Amino acid sequence: MGAYLARRLVTLPLLLLGISGVSFILLNLAPGDPAEIVLRQRNPGQAPGPAAVAAMRTELGLDSSLPAQYARWVSQAISGDLGRSYVTEQSVAAQLVRRTVPTAVLTGSALALALLVAVPVGILSARRRGSPEDTAARLVALVGAAAPSYALAYGLIILFAVKLSWLPALGYGSPAQIVLPAIALSLAPMAQLMRLIRASMLETLGEDYVRTARAKGLSEQTVAIRHTLRNALLPAIGATGVNLGYLLSGSVIVETIFTWPGLGQLMVGAVLSRDYPVVQGFVTYIAVVVLLVNLAADVALRVADPRLRFGRVEV
Amino acid sequence: MAVVTKRREEHSPLEAVASGAHGRRRWAARLLEPGTALGLFLVVSLLLMGLLSPWLPLDDPTKINLSERLLPPSPGHLLGTDHLGRDTLSRVAHGARMTLLAAAATLALSMTIALAVGILSGYYGGWLDTALMAVVDLLLAFPSLILALAVAGALGPGLFNVLLAAGAVWWVGHARIIRGVTLGARQTEYVTAARAVGAGHLRIILRHIAPNILGPIVVIASLDVGWIILGIAGLNFLGLGAQPPTPEWGAMLNDARPHLQTSPRLLMIPGAAIFLAVLGFNLLGDGLRDLLDPRTGPPGG
């Protein structure tokens, strides 16, 4: 376990360097001179003169070579400085930190909701395979996988905020305002988890040790909870990375619709206004989160599944 | 791996078609299952709408008529009009064409990259394999929409750039699957035999390895179209892709946002179109997977 953790922790900075490097190159290959973009942002409607552009290039450090610029960005990033926004001139790192809480609250609620529904439904669906409840659950999972979060979000707003006036449509701050965005965001991971838990539950129910447990005369309830559930939930832990991807990708759209002041909204705004330092900082920040969560999930999987710890099963 | 490859081969789509009455019955029976049949119906309707939209008796989808703004459905405009007085039915129908073209282009681009990377990696192995798979792992860890958003942001707005961005991030998982199949095929006796009689690399790849990849590719592609449609419409919805007045479903949703209170219909119609298209491809893809991949049982299991 120690050696495994050490190996993973050593590769982590390399992966980060890779992702931030790719996005740095990409953003620098983008058409248009950043100095000109900044000047246009700050003085709308005016064409910047060559002298002003040259001065701005020096100010932004754009006249040194690309590797030198990247090296400087990395050395500053290590000390927590991700540069300043072209548009607002605010510190990128401070903006990212400020917007993390709303996004964490939203994705956390959505994940909790997804698990709360998907685990019991997935288990029941597998135990009563072929029943009307099973069919209904699989139908919901199918619809959940196909429904675009943006259409679903507007469906929820139209129904619960416009027609019924039960819940506020937009905004951030009160507990009622989180209900609709959390539901909209939870549907995709919920559908995925439901299918996954049902499938792994079915597989586990066919294992020899489950047959043995039944042969011992244990009740179906005990067999399901003591012998099947733990193994059936392992793939759900293994799918953490995939679900984090769903949640973060979905949060970009859901936050934009519900005017939720999180990271996704910041990213969309930065992409549309070509605010490259913010895009670069955001990509790096998400990479850190994704890599750390994946690492935590892998460690949790090893704790929960002794077969992995002793190297009997390669994953 | 070799076992899996062999089983795949026994049930390859070509063989299922070629093996006569039994194979045909199996195909027909599977396509008639309710889910797959609904998927087939939705996909065929979408294809017809996309192919025929320029020739159907519809209004010009970009014709602005400010005296007919935000009209409810009527015999003249079956689905009403939008905030610029354009016919919603016509825009949805032309949007189907846009969606299909965009999905096809993205699929072609991502499959080309996935095939190149997967075959190179699986066939040649060694340091090339290590390097390519390191890139794949790196990209796999990253949320795809955010990556596509960053690429689209760097390229600037436009439908073509959104397609490039989606294709550039979508190949990653497939490259891994294709690599696995290639690796398995490379270790079979018939490839060793082909090499022993002096066949070149290209010939081995095309004649002996490519047929193994065909089945998985059909399944991946059919399961993928739905996700691609969702992703591209999402990028368009965020305002990065199709620019006005192009009739595109995601962009239509974006246009309709200010009219949420007064004309929710304008949001529900493109939303439902995206949902039905994605549902259709997902159902059809699930059906094809059950048919082509013998390892997963019938839909009940």
pLDDT in tens, B195-235: 888 888 888 888 888 888 887 888 788 888 888 898 888 88
**pTM score of the predicted model:** 0.81
Nearest to A151 by CA among A257, A65, A71: A257
Question: CA nearest A199 in B: which residue?
Answer: B301
Please name the residue of chain A whose CA is at the shortest distance from the CA of residue B231: A148
**Contact criterion met (CB < 8 Å) for A31 and B278:** no
Does B4 have pLDDT greater than 50? no
Mean per-residue pLDDT of chain A: 83
CA distance to partner chain A, nearest, from residue B200 (Å): 34
Q: Specify the pLDDT at position B299.
A: 42
- pLDDT grade for B105, boundaries at 50, 70 and 90: very high
| pLDDT > 90 fraction of chain B, expressed in percent and rounded | 6
Tell me what the mean pLDDT of segment B252-261 comes to.
Answer: 83
Beta bridge partners of B87: B81
Strand partners, A84: A91
Of A25, A271, A291, which to mutate for an interface test with B (greatest number of B Cβ within 10 Å)?
A: A271
Does B163 or B7 have the greater pLDDT score? B163
The reported pLDDT for the residue numbered A94 is: 92
Convert the pLDDT of each residue in B11-68 to its tens digit: 444 444 444 445 555 666 666 677 888 888 999 988 988 888 787 777 777 777 777 7
Phi and psi at residue A170, to the nearest 5°: -130, 170
For residues B161-172, average pLDDT: 87
pLDDT over threshold 80, residue A114: yes
Neighbouring C-beta atoms of residue B14, cutoff 10 Å: 12
* Mean pLDDT, residues A80-107 taken together: 90
pLDDT for B300: 38
Q: Give the distance from residue A30's alpha carbon to the nearest chain B alpha carbon, in angstroms.
A: 5
Residue A100 pLDDT level (bands cut at 50, 70, 90): very high
Q: Hey, is the C-beta of B153 within 8 angstroms of any chain A C-beta? A: yes
Q: Which segment, A58-72, A212-226, A266-280, B10-24, is predicted with the most confidence on average? A: A266-280
| CA nearest to B239 within chain A | A272
What value does the mean pLDDT of chain B take?
A: 79
Query: How high is the pLDDT of residue B22?
Result: 54
Q: Which range is least confidently modeled, A144-158, B1-15, B257-271?
A: B1-15
List the single best residue of A150, A192, A251 to mutate versus B (max B Cβ within 10 A).
A150
Contact check, Cβ <8 Å, A290/B142: yes
How far CA A141 is from CA of A54, A186, B50, in Å, comes to: 56, 12, 28
- CA–CA separation, A170 vs A161, rounded Å? 9
CB-based contact B154 A150, cutoff 8 Å: no
pLDDT of A214 reads 83
A82-93 pLDDT, tens digit per residue, is 888 888 888 999
Categorize the per-residue pLDDT at A56 as very low, low, confident or very high, splitting at 50, 70 and 90. Answer: confident
d(CA B63, CA B274): 23
| Mean pLDDT score, A125-151 | 83
For residue B150, what pLDDT band results from cuts at 50, 70 and 90? confident
Check residue B13 and give its pLDDT: 43
By CB neighbour count within 10 A (0-12 exposed, 13-18 middle, 19+ buried), where does A67 fall?
Answer: exposed
Q: Is B146 on the interface with A (CB under 8 A)?
A: yes
Q: How many whole angstroms separate alpha carbon A33 and alpha carbon B269?
A: 40
Check if B270 contacts A (Cβ < 8 Å): yes
Query: Chain A to chain B, count of Cβ pairs less than 8 Å apart?
Result: 139
For residue B16, what pLDDT is reported?
41
**B1 has a chain A CB within 8 A of its CB:** no
State residue A1's pLDDT score: 67
pLDDT level of residue A213 (50, 70, 90 thresholds): confident
Question: Shortest Cα distance from B196 to chain A (angstroms)?
Answer: 33
Interface predicted TM-score of the whole assembly (ipTM), two decimals: 0.80
Judged on CB neighbours under 10 Å (0-12, 13-18, 19+), B22 is exposed
pLDDT band at A141 (very low <50, low <70, confident <90, very high): confident
pLDDT digits (tens, 9 = 90+) for A159-212: 887 778 787 777 777 777 888 899 999 988 898 888 888 888 888 877 888 888
| Chain A residues touching B153 at Cβ < 8 A | 27, 30, 270-272, 274, 279
**pLDDT at site B250:** 86
pLDDT computed for residue B8 by the predictor: 37
**Most B CBs within 10 Å, among A195, A196, A243, A249, to test the B interface:** A249
Rounded to whole angstroms, how far apart are CA atoms B137 and B134? 5
Give the pLDDT score at A107.
93
